[in-house]
Amino acid sequence: MTSLDEIVTTLNVTHIYHEKQYLQRCALHALNNLFQAEIFTKKQLDDICLRLSPSYLLNPHRSAFGLGNYDINVIETALQGVGCVALWFDKRKDVRSIDLANIVGLIINVPVNSKIFNFSLPFATRRHWFSIRKINGKFYNLDSKLTSAQCIGSDEEMLQYIFQILTNKGVQMFIIVRKEIVNGSPTVLCTSCTYSVLFFNESVIRCVVILEVYFEVLFQDSSDERGKDFNRLSQLVSTQISKISQNVATIQRMVAQLGTTQDSEHLRQNLHEIQHFTHTLSQTTMESLKNLSSLPSPSNASEQRQWKLQRERLTNDFSVVLNNFQAVQRSAAQKEKVSVLRARVDSGIGGVSFSSVIPQEKLQIEQNLDIQTIQEREQVIRQLESDIMDVNQIFKDLALMVHQQGEVIDSIEANVDNAQVHIDQGSTQIQRAAQYQSKARRKKMLCCSVIIVLIIVISLIIYFTTGGK
């Protein structure tokens, strides 16, 4: 794959590279337009989808029929392959805090409505990706739906342009930067970007899990805002817990396939990687919880109670997913041990004789391969057991943190407060449910109307095509 240094040479060009929309490949076009070259192909993005999730037909990272419609996980993985990362921009921040001199460009995601015969279907909303970058000293909108690249202008005009875009509902913006800026620059600061890290090995990207980590890159914020970070950190911890839960469910499915006809070295490799990096994510979540707990409490008594309840809820949720993760770790370790014993028996290691008709050299080669496989699986078992012990330590740290705060999760006070919150939330959810039910009814009626109109139109076309016979 082309290196980032080679790509950057296209910043000063005589001709602007601009791919136009084809099917649902806006993410592919956005990436290539961002780097001003055909760096990626549909096959490469499809391969990334399969690495993220082995399902071919119903892959959650693209459309059902493989037409495109790739999600942010695919984009982030592709960016990692060329030495870049995507930083999510918090729209609550001032766009002027973005240091445009340190970015490769922007990738923006906007909601769009599907259309049938130029008739907009509001209930069938899709997402569209497009990129913006600086070329020859000016910023350009490289949206694949445009007939040609649209010149935005200077840095000031660029900031005004993205400010207008971000005022629209549902718009998300990702700032694309070089990896070394995130990893090593002490002069660029940020508190409003979320850095999504994806793990890959050499030229083969093996995306396992997304770690949401906050880096201080590209922004300048004063320290007096740190007391306002509770909601942001709470959302971060909640997202991390959700990702751990999703990974645990994936691990459970993989462990269930061990020892069956679906078992394979590829399956085991993916299992070991996602298990290990979920363990890393658990450690990161523990650090995030500690950061959340270390924030100074607000002076308002009502806010103090809300913060306390939120921390308790997140701590409980984290404890539950940790229990589930540790249980599936033990199950995986047990199956690996059984697999090693079976491999030893099948290979004949330890006294089992082989048929004399097999040539000795071939026999030695096969036995060496068996020994290597067994040693690799034993190493995996040791790693699993080490990770299990680390999770035990996380449990201890969690208990210590709760004890130091003087917050007993199952205390009577907490239960009473939780009951009140749940009652309030229940009332709100009932109201929302009624609204959703009403909207669902209207959508169904609209769908039926559209289907009836389509049937009438098709019938008329058939009728006049056949001459009314």
Looking at per-residue confidence, does 448 or 146 come out higher?
146
pLDDT score, position 442: 78
- Boundaries of every domain in the chain: 4-221, 231-409, 421-469
Residue 265: count of CB within 10 angstroms of its CB = 9
In the chain, % of residues over pLDDT 70: 63
pLDDT at 129: 95
Q: Which of 173, 178, 179, 177 is nearest to 158 (CA)?
A: 173
Query: What is the fold, at CATH topology level, of the domain defined by 231-409?
Result: Methane Monooxygenase Hydroxylase; Chain G, domain 1 (1.20.58)
User: Do 4-221 and 231-409 have matching folds?
Assistant: no
pLDDT of amino acid 271: 81
**Under the phi-then-psi rule, with left for phi > 0, alpha for psi from -120 to 50, and beta for the rest, what region is 351?**
left
CA 145 to chain centre: 26
DSSP letters for 39-76: ---HHHHHHHHHHH---SSS-TTS-TTSSB---HHHHH
* β-strand partners of 407: none
Which of 389, 245, 267 has its CA nearest to residue 336? 267
**Burial label, 124 (beta-carbon count in 10 A; 0-12, 13-18, 19+):** middle
Q: Which of 217, 277, 220, 219 is nearest to 246 (CA)?
A: 277
Cβ-contact 62, 32 below 8 angstroms: no
**What pLDDT does residue 272 have?**
79
| Mean pLDDT value across the chain | 73
What is the pLDDT, as a whole number, of residue 464? 76
Residues marked as catalytic: 26, 128, 143
Between helix 265-294 and helix 230-257 the angle, nearest 10°, is: 160
107-125 mean pLDDT: 68
Q: How confident is the model at residue 319 (pLDDT cuts 50, 70, 90)?
A: confident
* Mean pLDDT score, 426-444: 64
Under CATH, what is the fold of the domain 4-221?
A: Cathepsin B; Chain A (3.90.70)
Q: d(Cα 134, Cα 141) in Å, to the nearest integer?
A: 9
Helix (H) or strand (E) holding 123: strand 119-135
Say which residue, 228 or 313, is predicted with more confidence.
313
Mean pLDDT on 440-446:
78
d(CA 250, CA 334) in angstroms, rounded, equals 18
Nearest C-alpha neighbor of 64 from the set 11, 24, 118, 100: 24
Which pLDDT band holds residue 133 (cuts at 50, 70, 90)?
very high
Distance CA 279, CA 273 (A): 10
Q: Write down the pLDDT at residue 222.
A: 39
Alpha-carbon torsion 26, 27, 33, 34, what sign? positive
Phi then psi dihedrals of residue 152, to 5 deg: -90, -45
pTM over 0.85: no
pLDDT of residue 33: 94
pLDDT-based confidence at residue 398 (cuts at 50, 70, 90): confident
With beta carbons less than 8 A apart as the criterion, state whether 86 and 72 touch: yes
CB half-sphere exposure, 146, CA atoms < 13 A: 16
Distance (Å, whole) CA 252 – CA 331: 9
> Which distant-in-sequence residues (6+ apart) come within 8 Å of 326 by Cβ?
388, 391, 392
Tell me the pLDDT tens digit for each residue of 293-312.
Answer: 888 777 778 878 888 888 88
pLDDT for res 197: 38
- Contact by Cβ (8 Å): 25, 42: yes
What's the half-sphere exposure (Cβ side, CA atoms, 13 Å) at 267? 18
